[in-house]
Structure 1
Amino acid sequence: MDSPAVPRPRALPFLFAFASGGILTLMAHFNGTLGHYGGPFFASWTAHATGTVAAILLIALLFRRGEGRALKGRAPLWAYLGGLSGGLTVIFTAEAVNSPLALSGTLALGLAGQVAFSLAADRWGLFGLARRRLSAKDAASLGLIAAGSALIILFGRVSL
């Protein structure tokens, strides 16, 4: 019996995901630098003020082009938690980057936290997602990420 054909992955989404990882690393570095000179709250306020100005300019541009009228409807209440979690992420990142964890340890633990939370969201159907039973592959992925994080944090400062 033949299994159904699995569509071949396209290169562009992989490129976007890889680029977003690079941008995330730059963001963590910039926020860490801001946190070093002005503190973690200054880093968070600066990052979010910049994002607010960019969002206002983008919305103004959309309305000027006549496309802003499509921005209607109400977001679910939980969608507004993104601002809270984003602010806390910048504060925690700015603090952790300037600790013995440094940039690589901070990013490794951040990745482990993202994967663990996404697996929990899949398992319990959080945020309107379909519930999904976790597989051994999911557990192995999380275990490898945790092991890699531990190697970076515990042995990353060893010089050859």
Structure 2
Amino acid sequence: MTATSPLENPRPLVFFAAFSAGGLLTLMVHFNGELARYGNPLFSSWTAHGTGTIAAIVFLGLLYRRGRVMTEGRPPAPLWAYLGGLSGAATVMLSSTAVNSPLALAGTLSLGLSGQAIFSLAADHWGLFGLPKRRLTARNLVALALIIAGSALIILEGRNPA
């Protein structure tokens, strides 16, 4: 099974959702950084995940009342799929620490994007976590180099404001 390119079958809603998630991620990192500045990264993580847990319970309760929660006929999730909360908690603590450093919000997010790009290319290449294997191309590596170069520009330029 070969993965199709998003450009072969464009879905505007998917592009909008991904772009919006990036904006929400920026807000989340900023809000969590503020919580960490007034408390500490652990407090920030607990608060963010506590709020998310309450929102999830309310949302699932609404879905359950409408009969839209379906688990029958679906295979159980693999055990590693439940580690998302652990990586999310670590992400909040690490980004809350970094955003309150000289990296600031833009540097934290640009390095985070670099890390996401590197890990996602590795996951695609080796087929980690059940993903279909995808061969790395020169285009992927050029895009990665541009992301890293952009991150370096944001961080280095941020140190010497005009």
TM-score, normalized by length of structure 2?
Answer: 0.89
Moved over 3 A (4+): none
- Residue number among 117, 139, 142 corresponding to 1:140 in the alignment: 142
Once residues 126 and 154 of structure 1 are traced to their aligned partners in structure 2, the CA distance between those partners, rounded to angstroms, is: 33
The answer for the alignment partner of 2:13 in structure 1 is: 12
The answer for the alignment partner of 1:119 in structure 2 is: 121
Once residues 83 and 7 of structure 1 are traced to their aligned partners in structure 2, the CA distance between those partners, rounded to angstroms, is: 33
- Give the 3-state SS of the residue equivalent to 2:60 in structure 1: helix
CA distance 1:139–1:101, shift in 2 (3 Å): same
The answer for the alignment partner of 1:33 in structure 2 is: 34
Once residues 61 and 35 of structure 2 are traced to their aligned partners in structure 1, the CA distance between those partners, rounded to angstroms, is: 29
Once residues 60 and 9 of structure 1 are traced to their aligned partners in structure 2, the CA distance between those partners, rounded to angstroms, is: 33
- Contiguous gaps of at least 5 residues in structure 2: 1-6
The answer for the alignment partner of 2:71 in structure 1 is: 71
Once residues 67 and 11 of structure 1 are traced to their aligned partners in structure 2, the CA distance between those partners, rounded to angstroms, is: 25
- Contiguous gaps of at least 5 residues in structure 1: 1-5
Once residues 122 and 10 of structure 1 are traced to their aligned partners in structure 2, the CA distance between those partners, rounded to angstroms, is: 21
The answer for the alignment partner of 1:110 in structure 2 is: 112
Q: CA RMSD in A?
A: 1.4
- How far did 1:8 drift? 5.7
Give the letter aligned to residue 18 of structure 2: A
- Residue number among 73, 83, 86 corresponding to 1:84 in the alignment: 86
Q: Which moved more, 1:150-159 or 1:95-104?
A: 150-159
- How far did 1:42 drift? 0.3
TM-score, normalized by length of structure 1?
Answer: 0.91
Once residues 10 and 83 of structure 1 are traced to their aligned partners in structure 2, the CA distance between those partners, rounded to angstroms, is: 28
Once residues 27 and 104 of structure 1 are traced to their aligned partners in structure 2, the CA distance between those partners, rounded to angstroms, is: 13
- How far did 1:159 drift? 2.5
- How far did 1:156 drift? 1.5
Once residues 127 and 118 of structure 1 are traced to their aligned partners in structure 2, the CA distance between those partners, rounded to angstroms, is: 11
The answer for the alignment partner of 1:130 in structure 2 is: 132
* Number of aligned residue pairs: 154
Give the letter aligned to residue 31 of structure 2: F
Q: Percent identity?
A: 62
Question: Highest Rg: 1 or 2?
Answer: 1
The answer for the alignment partner of 1:158 in structure 2 is: 160
1:3-43 residue CA offsets vs partner (Å, 9 max, x unmatched): xxx74634332222221111110001000000100100000
